[in-house]
Structure 1
Amino acid sequence: MATLIIQSATLVSAGHPLHLSTVDVLVKGGKIEKIGKSIKNEDKKAQVIDGAGAFLSAGFFDLNVNFGEPGYETKEDIQTGTAAAAAGGFTGVAVHPNTNPPLHSRSEISLIVNSAKGNLVDVLPVGTVSKKREGNELAELYDMKITGAVAFSDGTHSIQQAGLMGRALLYGKGFGGLIMTFPEDDSIAGGNKMNEGEVSTYLGMKGIPNLAESVMISRDLFLAEYNDAPIHFSTISTEEGVDLIKKAKAKGIQVTCDVAAHNLVFTDEDVKSFDSNFKVSPPLRTKKDLKALLKGLKDGVIDAVVSQHTPQEIEFKDVEFQIAKNGIIASQTVLPLLVKAGFTPEQIVEKLAVGPRRVLGLPLPEIKEGLEANLVLFNPSKKWIFDDRTNQSKSANSPLYGQELTGQVLAVINNNKVHIN
């Protein structure tokens, strides 16, 4: 990349001597050459970015994205998925195994690792817990780990067999293989389409009660404690889930969790429009749940915010709500949703850059002279329109499509590459 100078940005990096100071940053050859109050531009060919009113931090990391490759490239492939991630401020993503075939052996893990080489966005594959994501037999976890898998999950398939989950936790513990799980008891959820409550009754749709999540969280916390193993809950959505995890952390159980950004802004009230772009899994819950999630984030119970980026072709979304597929494209809209939810720049950096890497045991990129630049520059006050011109994904399934949003990523830098929105 060419020489780049970011001017007059507020640095957000807890523990850094210039934390919350206005700085200029000179990046040359992919490395941070200089950080200072005012850097004189001596290179006429240098690209200059005005960071006034913007914040500079380590690049964001997303613990939950779906790219479709292999098998569902018509929804999203690695190139378009990473383009959307970069536009959303992410310099690293953990891609989940909701593919065909699923990422359940070293072959699929190698495919992702090799296909993503040289990208601005670091792509870390999450292997399956069970073969074919069927929940019956453990996949070759260790083989996938040494090939590049950063964690293990059956993606949108919740692991129903307690014995299998217990064995996975115990086995993974032996080589540092983190088990990530989507907590939902299928026998309680019943394949229903939205949150169970007043709105589902009003709309005449069968609902998924909070109990489906809390029962599974409770079970898996017992298993994690019994096996003295770490566990991560993906996309929790209920007040009860937050409470259970809070108590488990206080007890010393090795538990972390994340929440999808859309569950911090939207509720089941939004489903009244029957817009299938509000159909997600876990479903949008009540205002009471939303408030508990926000409090859980601010209290440190919830470790990270994720996009849960789930592209779908138009034929799976432009249908009746009951038969539409779950999911929204979200890599580019996490920042605006957190701004709308009232998060400060420091809280945004904590939940999008620091917390996710801490969950996976990854080092936080340092903002220091002489080191590789892994940076995001974002302005929480800048407005932009999410439409065909700005959307980087292959798909367009988002309830925010066509709207003016507040909070924009201006630039991301990683792996000697730069993306400017």
Structure 2
Amino acid sequence: MGTILISSAKLVLPNHALHGEVVDILIKDGIIDRVGNKLEMSDKDVQNIDANGLIVSAGFFDLHANFGEPGLETKEDIVTGTEAAACGGYTGVAVYPNTNPPLHSRSEIALVINTAKGNVVDVYPVGSISKKREGKELAEMYDMQRAGAIAFSDGNHSVQQAGLMSRALLYSKGINALVISFAEDESIAGGNQMNEGEVSTFLGMKGKPNLAESLMVSRDLSLAEYHDAPIHFTCISTVESVDLIRKAKARGVKVTCDVAAHHLVFRDDAVLGFDSNFKVNPPLRTDKDVKALLKGLKDGTIDAVVSQHSPHEVEFKNVEFQIANDGIIGLQTTLPLLVMAGLQAEDIVNKLVVAPRQIVRQEIPSLVEGSTANLVLFSVEDKWMFDSTTNRSKSTNSPLFGQELTGKVKAIVNHGQLVENT
């Protein structure tokens, strides 16, 4: 990589001695050599990056992304997924076991880790709780942990059996692991297409009630509290879930949670046009739910924001709403969505940099002299077009595709590699 001088960037990283100040950062061969003001280099081989007006922080970390490898590489493979992640400001991504075969043994975990070696973006596999994600029998969690799994989840299959989830929490406590719950009671959700409410009634579509999520959040909180085991909820979307988790935290339950960026911006009325790119799971909720999510972010009930990046081939999205697959691509649009939702730079750093790493016990890059350079340069004001020329995913299933967005990642540095967005 040689030598890079980043000049005049505002450093935003809590607990850093220069937090909030405009700094220059000199990087030599992937190591931060100096951090200060008005650094000058006479070396002709120095690559200068004018970061005036930009924010520099440790690289973003996504707690919930879906790549197709192994088995579903036509949706996304590790190469294209990490390219999208890099352009979205991420230097670390946790990938879920929604693959074929799922990440349910040490073989699949090792495959992901080995395939991603040498990449500018670190890829962390999340192993399945149950074999084949069928929710019947515990997978070999300890073997997967030793192979490199950082947490355990059945992905977009919620664990329906309370006894199995109870055993998973108890076992994970014994090996110092984290269970991630995707909360949906399938008997209540009924496989329905959108949020249950006024819009679903108007459209004549069967909806998923908030109860389908909050019932499962309540169950898993009770199990975690019973075993005194840590639990993380991913992609919560309802006012009831926020309230349940807030109360559980207050009484000392070891619980954390995240929200998908699109749930902070879009409401269920977006479905009125039957655009299948708005079909996600959990479904887009009401204005009341969105306000509760934003309040939960502000008061610390919700710890992190995720992309829930879910790529699909065109034949699974460019169809009638009722039969389209759930999900949107989100790695490159999480920052713009957070800007759209009104989050400030420090909030963005807390929810995309600090808390996600804390949840899965990963070291937060320090950005101090002598440390390995792991950083992102971004703007909350610059505009860019999200279209076929800027999209790095194999898929295009996003309601933001073809739009001008505010909030742009300019570059990331990790493992001695620099990736710049033009």
The TM-score normalised by the length of structure 1 is 0.99
Q: CA deviation at 1:49?
A: 1.4
Question: Letter of the aligned partner of 2:285 in structure 1?
Answer: R
Provide the rounded CA distance (Å) in 2 between the counterparts of 1:239 and 1:105: 36
Q: Is 1:210 the counterpart of 2:181 in the alignment?
A: no
Q: Is 1:269 the counterpart of 2:269 in the alignment?
A: yes
Aligned residue in 2 for 1:159: 159
Listed one character per residue, the Cα deviations across residues 388-411 of structure 1 (whole Å, up to 9, x for unaligned) are: 110000000000000000000000
Q: How does 1:292-311 map to 2 (within 5 A)?
A: 292-311=292-311
Aligned residue in 1 for 2:411: 411
RMSD: 0.6
Provide the rounded CA distance (Å) in 2 between the counterparts of 1:199 and 1:385: 30
Listed one character per residue, the Cα deviations across residues 238-292 of structure 1 (whole Å, up to 9, x for unaligned) are: 0000000000000100000000000000010101111100000000000100000
Identity %: 67
Aligned residue in 2 for 1:201: 201
Listed one character per residue, the Cα deviations across residues 141-168 of structure 1 (whole Å, up to 9, x for unaligned) are: 0000000000000000000000000000
Listed one character per residue, the Cα deviations across residues 209-257 of structure 1 (whole Å, up to 9, x for unaligned) are: 0000000000000100111100000100000000000000001000000
Question: Letter of the aligned partner of 1:366 in structure 2?
Answer: S
Q: CA deviation at 1:43?
A: 2.0
Q: Could you say what secondary structure the match of 2:410 adopts?
A: strand
Aligned residue in 2 for 1:66: 66
Aligned residue in 2 for 1:48: 48
Q: CA deviation at 1:137?
A: 0.1
Q: Could you say what secondary structure the match of 2:57 adopts?
A: strand
Q: CA deviation at 1:8?
A: 0.6
Q: Is 1:312 the counterpart of 2:331 in the alignment?
A: no
Aligned residue in 2 for 1:126: 126
Q: Is 1:147 the counterpart of 2:155 in the alignment?
A: no
Q: Could you say what secondary structure the match of 1:111 adopts?
A: helix
Provide the rounded CA distance (Å) in 2 between the counterparts of 1:365 and 1:3: 19
Q: CA deviation at 1:52?
A: 1.1
Q: Could you say what secondary structure the match of 2:242 adopts?
A: helix
Question: Letter of the aligned partner of 2:416 in structure 1?
Answer: N
Aligned residue in 1 for 2:385: 385
Q: CA deviation at 1:15?
A: 1.7
Provide the rounded CA distance (Å) in 1 between the counterparts of 2:86 and 2:77: 14
User: Which shifted more, 35-44 or 266-275?
Assistant: 35-44
Q: CA deviation at 1:16?
A: 1.5
Q: How does 1:2-401 map to 2 (within 5 A)?
A: 2-401=2-401
Question: Letter of the aligned partner of 2:252 in structure 1?
Answer: G
Q: CA deviation at 1:41?
A: 2.5
Listed one character per residue, the Cα deviations across residues 22-50 of structure 1 (whole Å, up to 9, x for unaligned) are: 11111110010111111112221222111
In structure 2, the gaps of 5 or more residues are none
Question: Letter of the aligned partner of 1:313 in structure 2?
Answer: E
Provide the rounded CA distance (Å) in 2 between the counterparts of 1:316 and 1:140: 32
Question: Letter of the aligned partner of 2:242 in structure 1?
Answer: V
Provide the rounded CA distance (Å) in 2 between the counterparts of 1:332 and 1:44: 33
Q: Could you say what secondary structure the match of 1:219 adopts?
A: helix
Provide the rounded CA distance (Å) in 1 between the counterparts of 2:43 and 2:249: 52
Question: Letter of the aligned partner of 1:32 in structure 2?
Answer: I
Q: CA deviation at 1:14?
A: 1.3
Question: Letter of the aligned partner of 2:373 in structure 1?
Answer: A
In structure 1, the gaps of 5 or more residues are none
Q: Could you say what secondary structure the match of 2:387 adopts?
A: coil
Q: CA deviation at 1:200?
A: 0.4
Q: CA deviation at 1:7?
A: 0.9
Q: Could you say what secondary structure the match of 1:258 adopts?
A: strand
Q: CA deviation at 1:2?
A: 2.4
The TM-score normalised by the length of structure 2 is 0.99
Provide the rounded CA distance (Å) in 1 between the counterparts of 2:389 and 2:37: 35
Listed one character per residue, the Cα deviations across residues 160-212 of structure 1 (whole Å, up to 9, x for unaligned) are: 00000000000000111100010000000000000000000011110000000
Provide the rounded CA distance (Å) in 2 between the counterparts of 1:277 and 1:246: 31
Question: Letter of the aligned partner of 1:227 in structure 2?
Answer: H
Question: Letter of the aligned partner of 1:376 in structure 2?
Answer: V
Provide the rounded CA distance (Å) in 2 between the counterparts of 1:179 and 1:54: 36
Provide the rounded CA distance (Å) in 2 between the counterparts of 1:384 and 1:28: 30
Provide the rounded CA distance (Å) in 2 between the counterparts of 1:313 and 1:43: 48
Provide the rounded CA distance (Å) in 1 between the counterparts of 2:385 and 2:141: 42
Provide the rounded CA distance (Å) in 2 between the counterparts of 1:68 and 1:24: 39
User: Which shifted more, 216-225 or 42-51?
Assistant: 42-51
Q: Could you say what secondary structure the match of 2:280 adopts?
A: coil
Provide the rounded CA distance (Å) in 2 between the counterparts of 1:48 and 1:237: 43
Provide the rounded CA distance (Å) in 1 between the counterparts of 2:128 and 2:17: 41
User: Which shifted more, 108-117 or 36-45?
Assistant: 36-45
Listed one character per residue, the Cα deviations across residues 93-139 of structure 1 (whole Å, up to 9, x for unaligned) are: 10000000000000000000100000000000000000000000000
Q: Could you say what secondary structure the match of 2:191 adopts?
A: coil
Provide the rounded CA distance (Å) in 2 between the counterparts of 1:193 and 1:48: 50
Provide the rounded CA distance (Å) in 1 between the counterparts of 2:336 and 2:193: 26
Listed one character per residue, the Cα deviations across residues 290-346 of structure 1 (whole Å, up to 9, x for unaligned) are: 000000001000010000000000000000101000000100000000001010100
Provide the rounded CA distance (Å) in 2 between the counterparts of 1:24 and 1:106: 43
Provide the rounded CA distance (Å) in 2 between the counterparts of 1:260 and 1:371: 31
Number of matched pairs: 421
Q: Could you say what secondary structure the match of 1:351 adopts?
A: helix
Provide the rounded CA distance (Å) in 2 between the counterparts of 1:290 and 1:219: 23
Provide the rounded CA distance (Å) in 2 between the counterparts of 1:391 and 1:45: 31
